[in-house]
Amino acid sequence: MARKRSPAANAASRAPQRRHIAAAHPQASEAKDTTMSSRSGSRWLRISVRIIALVAAATAAYMAKESSHVLGLTSLTPEPAKMQSQNVGFMAQVLQKSKGQNICKPEGIISDTCTDFNGAETLRHKVSGPLDKMIRTKFFRTLKVDLYKPCEFWRTEGSCFQRDCIVTPFDDRNIPESWQQQTVDHTNFGPFLGSFPRQRLEHSDKDFAIVNDETYGDGIWVDLIENPERFTGYAGAGANAVWMSIYQHNCFGVAPYLQDTAGGWGSQLVNVDGKSMPFVQPPRRRRELLFFLENMSEEERGVTLPTDVPLEYRVFYRIVSGLHASISTHICSDYLNSTTNQWEPNLSCFISRIGAFPDRLQNIYFNFVLLSRAIQKMEPYLAAYDYSTGIAKDDRAVKRLMPKMLRAVKRAGFIFDDKELFQEVSGSAMKAEFKDNFRNISRIMDCTGCEKCRLWGKTQTLGIATALKALFSYPDRAFRGSFTTLDFKRNEIVALMTTYFQFSYSIKGIEMFRGMYQNFVTDWRASQLD
């Protein structure tokens, strides 16, 4: 393909041509050697001008490219047309206003599910009422977690001792005795009479995570409502090491390219090099948003989630990716404004953390659907579960709210086909590997240096693992009748419902940030008219 010449080069080349034509006019006859000299000079002039124009164009292109990377990708000059990323297009759709709607209503089927985004949001609106109230009752807000288990994989930097990193424990005297009762399992004793009990296994063959039994072992009791998942100030190499380890070593090699900071452009306080890294500011003109996101996205580098991998591996990655995005959304939704010292949503945080990884945004919805399907399957068991705490008001509330939530989830219909997974000849081996890797992620959460981050990482990992256990460790018939074959600990039920609420809250947060972006654009337009 011929190189397109710049306007400057064309103008420069035409100038000597015009001089040459004038010299050939009958009224301007000149000597032959003079004409030859003029032609030679004009040829060298054209070559010189062309070289100068090409060097200038190359220099301008290089500077534009470098400035976009060095300055946080703030250059918004449109590039030549290139294939638009589907994930980036989705991110732009979420933030941009369409058809006069004031809430986010993305369209299309959620990948690897049997429902669309509108169906997921409709379900979220139906379950949010009873779910939001239910998780505030004593049964669901109280959990025992081992927050001081050492990291098995690398030497950690130590704990974060900032105020917002610390978890406030719950007074053990306010815990029902039935939750703390020490039970003796005689099958765990050694072969000789009177020998000490063997150390209990961290998990059973059916578990997808490390399950710490609340009636046995270490841990502290925590009030989840009093220790919300929010911005803590914990960042840097330690925080990034956790996610980089999960993506690089536990996602079956299907995770896309990762940047140096797994949190996206900008971090909570410091970047991996220990220097301050402010969040990227979104564009004020709506028409520039898509190009802005394309530049910020790692997919601009031509790397995305492969499609020719087994469904099971894709599902695994979507789970991890969605969990990461949900946590980031919570951090940005409840962010400490250092100027006002107030907790408030931070739009730039959301754009920076999610915009660089747009596929994670879709995977929030995927996780919500997966959890909904597990609750559908567990519906008879959850309806019959004993949620007693001894607090009459809370016990009555759960008896009223749980059936309402379960009915809403059940009526959502066929939203995820769990029967498609682990059906190949290698299905059993693949399921075992799937379990091992997810258990590994629950162990990696012990390497988080922030107590509150570790609390929510472990709780939500256990919640998703409980859903996977229900879907893939038990047949449908196990959730009917007497439930004698089921083995779910109280903390698994609490983690499941808490995690379901967290993803519901993340989708609500997406709607909130979309409204904030519209206000951001509107306020800027108004300022230009003043």
Return d(Cα 120, Cα 124) in angstroms, integer: 6
How far is Cα 11 from Cα 476, in angstroms, rounded to an integer?
77
Instruction: Please state whether beta strands 220-223 and 342-344 pair in parallel, antiparallel, or not at all (unpaired).
Output: unpaired
Active-site residue 450, yes or no? Answer: yes
**C-alpha closest to that of 508 among 127, 252, 42, 99:** 127
- Helix 311-333 to helix 427-444 angle (10° resolution) is 20
Write the DSSP assignment of 351-376 as a string of letters. HHHHHTSHHHHHHHHHHHHHHHHHHH
Cα–Cα distance measured from residue 389 to residue 395, given in angstroms and rounded to the nearest whole number = 7
Could you confirm whether 151 is annotated as catalytic?
no
For 203, 373, 462, 478, the CA distances from 472, given in Å and listed in that order, are 16, 12, 15, 12
CA–CA separation, 453 and 444 (whole Å): 12
Return the structure tokens found at 178.
């039935």
List the structure tokens of 399: 């008896």
Rg (alpha carbons) of the chain, rounded to whole number: 30
Q: 339: alpha, beta or left, given left = phi > 0 and alpha = psi -120 to 50?
A: alpha
Residues sharing a CB contact under 8 Å with residue 16, sequence separation 6 or more, in sequence order: 41, 42, 43, 45, 46
Give dist(CA 440, CA 84) in Å, integer: 36
Instruction: Give which of 288, 158, 141, 123 is closest to 221, Cα–Cα.
Output: 141
Give the whole-angstrom CA distance, residue 262 versus residue 243: 6
Nearest to 123 by CA among 508, 512, 510, 516: 508
Cα–Cα distances in Å, from 115 out to 58, 319, 411?
48, 16, 13
Helix extents (H) in 411-450: 427-444
DSSP string, 220-274: EEEETTTS-----S--SHHHHHHHHHHHHHHSTT------SSTT-SS-SSB-TTS
What is the C-alpha separation between 211 and 214, in angstroms, rounded? 9
- Distance, in Å, from the CA atom of 99 to the CA atom of 107, rounded to the nearest integer, reads 13
Given a contact cutoff of 8 angstroms between Cβ atoms, the answer to whether 156 and 238 are in contact is yes
Q: Which of 165, 349, 447, 453 is catalytic?
A: 453
- Whether residue 310 contacts residue 253, with contact meaning beta carbons closer than 8 Å, is answered with no
Active site residues: 450, 453
